[in-house]
Amino acid sequence: MEQSPLPNHPGGYVFAIESSCDETACAVLDGNGRVLAEAVLSQAGHAEFGGVVPEIAARAHLLHLPELARRVLAEAAIAEPGFVPADLVAVAASTGPGLIGGLIVGSGLGRGLALSLGVPFVPVNHIEAHALTARLPGLVPGGAEFPYLLLLVSGGHCQCIAVDGLGSYRRLGGTIDDAAGEAFDKVAKLLGLGWPGGPALERLALEGDPAAIPLPRPLLGRAGCDFSFSGLKTAVAQRLAGRPADQALDRREAADLAASFQAAVADVMADRVRHALGMMPEATLLVAAGGVAANATLRSRLAAVASAQGVRFAAPPLRLCTDNAVMVAWTAIERLRAGAVEGGVSGDLLTPARPRWPLQEMAATPGSPG
């Protein structure tokens, strides 16, 4: 039987927007979490700067989002004959944390659409969306019931979070300097791989020997589950700095360095997650999310840690690891079902975009922000 995200409302479709960084994304889901249509546009124009330029990202969202939204709504009508935007019961958008320009563009379009349809606008916390992705129906065998441990690893985040329930999150530990994704990108740049560096470094590492070059494992074995990657990145930089200026780095050495760096990150991640599971004995599931969770070596190590600790391991499919609008729509559905969003055109229309929005400020009570 179809389950609507809003009580006593037939049908029940949610349209969502993601624009917190350099991915422009839209999706339409039904009340059961079935994806009718989705699209992600990865922006060009940042590579020459070696990282995301906020102003370029915001302008790209402004340029491409309206057409992407129209396209996704049209595809939803193909997947669900007869569907029209008037069938939407809510519109959601990531409203923080992230780059403020992109958040303003995405949430602004979402608010306008919600206002025109007379339906609730749901401001979604981007980190909460990653945290709840595993709960998409059918994604994790056996489901992802609360509580579970989340390892969020991306270009801007690296933290272990106890997901105790909707709106109930505890930060067990996080990075004290660079996030894992930042370290991957910076080391890739040192190796001349360009940007984004994570996927390129992973491909190069396949050609190398992970034991070839000794590198530090920051905080390995320490109490707690904090992370540190700045020293590891610096160790790679120092190794390359000692080379004569006219001596090029051959591919074999570059591959060994990439593989050794990746192995060091995986060792640290495995150790920190092992400690985090010890801090959350009630967890029976370990979930990895965020762009870096797409790394096959890291997934393998985390699965091994989970197995050794007697818990299940789950990671979203690769397309849902990176920023996407499916996770935004699903978070809105979870909150609508819990009654955490007022019906009608609610005060959520006034919730501002926020470059910082700690998970600890979330709550699943009616009328709460988000």
Query: 126 among the known binding-site residues?
Result: yes
Question: Looking at the chain, how many residues does it have?
Answer: 370
Query: 155 among the known binding-site residues?
Result: yes
Query: 295 among the known binding-site residues?
Result: yes
Query: 348 among the known binding-site residues?
Result: no
Q: Is 82 exposed, middle or buried (0-12, 13-18, 19+ CB in 10 A)?
A: exposed
125 touches 357 (CB < 8 A):
yes
Task: Please give the C-alpha separations between residue 224 and each of 148, 153, 157, 266, 273, in angstroms, as whole numbers.
Answer: 17, 17, 17, 17, 9
Query: 226 among the known binding-site residues?
Result: no
Helix, strand, or coil (residue 24)? strand
The tokens describing 285, both together, are 């599931």
Query: 33 among the known binding-site residues?
Result: no
- Collect contacts of 131-134 with beta carbons under 8 A, ≥24 apart: 131/161, 131/163, 131/169, 131/287, 131/289, 131/359, 132/163, 132/166, 132/327, 132/330, 132/331, 132/334, 133/289, 133/316, 133/320, 133/326, 133/327, 133/330, 134/285, 134/287, 134/289, 134/314, 134/316
Query: 152 among the known binding-site residues?
Result: yes
Rounded distance between C-alpha atoms, residue 95 and residue 108, angstroms? 9
Query: 153 among the known binding-site residues?
Result: yes
Query: 156 among the known binding-site residues?
Result: yes
Query: 198 among the known binding-site residues?
Result: yes
Q: Which residue has the tokens 């074999």?
A: 252
Q: Whose CA is closest to 190, among 266, 267, 242, 263?
A: 242
Residue ranges for the binding site for Fe cation? 126, 130, 323
Residue list, annotated binding site: 126, 130, 152-156, 185, 198, 202, 295, 323
Annotated binding site for substrate, which residues? 152-156, 185, 198, 202, 295
